[in-house]
Amino acid sequence: MKIITKGYMNSKVQPFPEWDLEVQDAIHEAMNLIAGKHGFRTHFEIWRNCELIITIGHNLHTTSIEIRPPQMAFIRRRANWYNSYAYFCNGAFWANRDRTKAILI
């Protein structure tokens, strides 16, 4: 899975040791979950060739970890997609629309 790291509100991304400890733990846990995975599955759909997008904020509340499908997948499946991404919360990835656990594939 491709990993994209960006700063909160387009700010410059600081080096890893300067991040908050809660942020470091969350990112480390998310990275362990996606090792060897390339997408996610919910009850209704399967998304492959996804990207892990990490937005680094000032603390855990302004940091987001999401698995998003590539942009071309949205264009091809515009009429029948339901969950457009999965977000990391409480040690698992969750589908954004129906709030069920996303199964990493």
Chunked into runs of 10 residues, the chain (105 residues) has average pLDDT values of 89 83 94 96 90 92 93 67 89 93 96
Selection from 36, 47, 45 nearest residue 1 by Cα: 36
The per-residue pLDDT for 21 is: 92
What distances in angstroms separate CA 12 from CA 20, 25, 45, 66, one per listed residue?
15, 20, 35, 19
The per-residue pLDDT for 75 is: 62
- Residue 41 and residue 47: Cα distance in Å, rounded? 6
Q: Residue 70 in contact with residue 53, Cβ under 8 Å?
A: no
The per-residue pLDDT for 37 is: 96
Q: Which residues pair with 52 in a beta bridge?
A: 3, 67
